[in-house]
């Protein structure tokens, strides 16, 4: 079998490993061939060589990516990918354009890498039980399978929570933003971070704050979780769909089911040729392998042997399946679902318009204080997908087909909402003229209908008056979008969220980092 050397970029760390390019052959390239590594102890498949793959420092997150970067499966797993620097799909340098300065930014991020949810972990256990009940041997990329077992050692405590990979992503995210915008934080001053009120998003905000501030984060930083289901913040949260009665996520099943029937059976047939004995892998079984590749790698901080199982082409087919799930579940292919985060976008534009001096109610002992140049908030994969789908950057993207891949598509879920997936809104001040620039995971994305500014940015007022106004015209208010009585939401006069500027809302509590 031929192998391709792959460079792995994960929170500033790089490595290389092998991906099978065709059927058959022997050797998985996973470094599991020594007899002393073939035991049944948990984690034995994640050996020293696998760990070493994480130890070479790549450099500052956001650094330019080499054009000839080798294929990396961990960058093509949809929302199951660990965080990575997004590719420069528009060919626009992420450096600040000449004649401009970034004087304010808002970052809205997904939580960091995590352990699986209970339903997903149950599927891992079902696979394990199936493998244990069927005497078999395997060769090639499946050689490890008889000795594999789920990597969680205390599922009841670990499920849903952040993993060590997530700890790393979030702490370094804080360090990165502290150094990306030098001078924005005066050491010793207070610092705020917002989060949807859910354990892993709150923990993400806490870890980010520790990275941003340092040892005194617990005394200088504050995290403000917002309970999206509280009736006082209808449409005024980081998970607006929780208050939208018309919201229903189908997961794009009408489309993913069609694509699954096309791409999975040939993969199962190829892999079954590597097995001798009574084990038969179904299409449903193999659909879990890329998921395990992503999760096991970031949990163990070592490349999972499941990453060697799918070929490059098969990984791309899996990624497209994730694209269909998000496009038609909560993205551009589900207009109402994709519009529920409009209040958040409007709220971001509102504070970028009013600037860093924007007053925040309830932020100090005397009741007010400045917002400052940086605002950071944490939410979930669907909310990030809803957000990016309504920015205007994908307005010219043709609908995705369930029959065949559109390989020139700009909408790719792995680049939109991986673990710790980040949407950045930078305010560019160019000789007194204000523009908005959008970055997805450190890569610049343009709004096709508004790119006249430096570095293909959009004049801030034009983005509000033309792009956002058109979005609102399509759906009406948040109340009308969600089938609520007129005025039965808690957004501002513009339709935007107010939680960035009003910490006295009943749905907001305070947590120390």
User: What are the residue boundaries of the structural domains of the chain, listed by start?
Assistant: 1-89+115-160+250-329, 101-113+162-248+334-402+411-513
Kindly tell me if the per-residue pLDDT of 431 is higher than 90.
yes
For residue 311, give Cα distances in angstroms to 157, 290, 406: 34, 11, 19
Maximum distance among all alpha carbons in the chain? 73
- pLDDT grade for 36, boundaries at 50, 70 and 90: very low
Kindly tell me if the per-residue pLDDT of 45 is higher than 90.
no
What are 207-242's pLDDT values in tens digits?
Answer: 999 999 999 999 999 999 999 999 999 999 999 999
What per-residue confidence (pLDDT) applies to 47? 54
What per-residue confidence (pLDDT) applies to 435? 99
Average pLDDT over residues 394-415: 97
Kindly tell me if the per-residue pLDDT of 199 is higher than 70.
yes
CA-CA distance, 434 to 45, in Å (whole number)? 53
Average pLDDT over residues 43-47: 54
pTM for the whole structure: 0.89
Task: Report whether CATH 3.40.50.1240 matches the domain 101-113+162-248+334-402+411-513.
Answer: yes
Alpha helix positions (H), 76-215:
118-133, 155-158, 164-180, 199-213
**pLDDT, the chain, mean:** 89
Kindly tell me if the per-residue pLDDT of 42 is higher than 50.
no
What are 253-296's pLDDT values in tens digits?
Answer: 999 999 999 999 999 999 999 999 999 999 999 999 999 999 99
Per-position DSSP letters for 331-400, written without gaps between them: STTSHHHHTTTHHHHHHHHHHHHH-TT-B-BTSSTTS--B--SEEEEEE-HHHHHHHHHTSSTTTTPPPP
- pLDDT grade for 489, boundaries at 50, 70 and 90: confident
Average pLDDT over residues 434-456: 98
Average pLDDT over residues 89-95: 96
Kindly tell me if the per-residue pLDDT of 33 is higher than 80.
no
What per-residue confidence (pLDDT) applies to 60? 36
What per-residue confidence (pLDDT) applies to 4? 42
What are 317-354's pLDDT values in tens digits?
Answer: 999 999 999 999 999 999 899 999 999 999 999 999 99
Contacting residues for 247 by C-beta, under 8 A, at least 6 apart: 241, 336, 337, 340, 482
Task: Find tokens 């799930």 and name the residue.
Answer: 325
More confident residue, 143 or 34: 143
What per-residue confidence (pLDDT) applies to 8? 41
| Lowest-confidence segment of 118-122, 252-256, 366-370, 464-468 by average pLDDT | 366-370
Alpha helix positions (H), 105-180:
118-133, 155-158, 164-180
What per-residue confidence (pLDDT) applies to 366? 60
- pLDDT grade for 487, boundaries at 50, 70 and 90: confident
Percent of the chain beyond pLDDT 90? 82
């Amino acid at each position: 079998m031929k192998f391709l050397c792959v460079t792995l970029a994960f929170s500033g760390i790089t490595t290389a490993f092998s991906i099978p390019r065709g059927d058959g052959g022997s050797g998985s390239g996973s470094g599991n061939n020594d007899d002393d590594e073939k035991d049944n102890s948990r984690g034995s498949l994640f050996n020293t060589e696998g760990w070493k793959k994480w130890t070479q420092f790549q450099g500052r997150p956001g650094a330019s990516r080499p054009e000839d970067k080798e294929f990396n499966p961990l960058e093509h797993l949809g929302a199951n990918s660990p965080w990575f620097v997004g590719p420069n799909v528009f060919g626009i340098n992420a450096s600040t354009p000449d004649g401009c300065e970034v004087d304010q930014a808002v970052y809205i991020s997904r939580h960091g890498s995590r352990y699986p949810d209970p339903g997903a972990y149950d599927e891992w256990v079902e696979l394990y039980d199936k493998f244990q009940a069927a005497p078999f041997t395997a060769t090639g990329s499946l050689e490890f399978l008889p000795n594999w077992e789920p990597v969680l050692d205390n599922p009841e405590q670990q499920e849903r929570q952040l993993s060590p990979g997530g700890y790393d992503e979030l702490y370094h995210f804080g360090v990165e933003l502290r150094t990306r915008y030098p001078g924005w934080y005066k050491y010793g001053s207070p610092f705020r971070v917002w989060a949807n009120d859910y354990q892993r998003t709150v923990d993400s905000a806490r870890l980010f704050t520790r990275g941003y501030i340092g040892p005194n984060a617990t005394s200088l930083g504050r995290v403000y979780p917002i309970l999206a289901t509280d009736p006082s913040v209808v449409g005024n949260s980081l998970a607006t769909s929780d208050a939208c009665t018309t919201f229903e996520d189908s997961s794009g099943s009408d489309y993913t089911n069609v694509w699954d029937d096309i791409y999975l059976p040939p993969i199962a047939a190829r892999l079954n040729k590597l097995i001798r004995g009574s084990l038969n892998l179904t299409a449903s079984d193999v659909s879990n392998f890329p998921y395990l590749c992503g999760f096991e790698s970031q949990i163990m901080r070592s490349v999972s042997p499941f990453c060697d199982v799918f070929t490059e082409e098969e990984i791309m087919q899996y990624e497209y399946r994730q694209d269909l799930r998000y496009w038609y579940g909560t993205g551009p292919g589900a207009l109402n679902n994709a519009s529920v985060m409009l209040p958040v976008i409007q709220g971001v534009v509102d504070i970028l318009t009013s600037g860093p001096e924007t007053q925040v109610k309830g932020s100090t002992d005397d009741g007010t204080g400045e917002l400052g140049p940086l605002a950071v908030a944490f939410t979930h994969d669907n909310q990030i997908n809803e957000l990016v789908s309504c920015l205007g950057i994908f307005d010219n993207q043709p609908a995705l087909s369930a029959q065949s891949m559109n390989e020139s598509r700009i909408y790719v879920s792995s680049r939109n909402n991986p673990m710790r997936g980040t949407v950045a809104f930078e305010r560019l001040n160019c000789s007194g003229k204000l523009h908005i620039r959008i970055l997805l995971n450190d890569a610049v994305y343009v709004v096709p209908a508004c790119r006249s500014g430096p570095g293909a940015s959009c004049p801030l007022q034009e983005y509000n008056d033309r792009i956002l106004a058109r979005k609102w015209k399509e759906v009406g208010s948040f109340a009308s979008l969600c089938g609520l009585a007129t005025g039965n939401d808690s957004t501002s006069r513009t339709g935007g969220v107010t939680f960035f500027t009003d910490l006295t809302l009943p749905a907001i509590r305070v947590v120390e980092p």
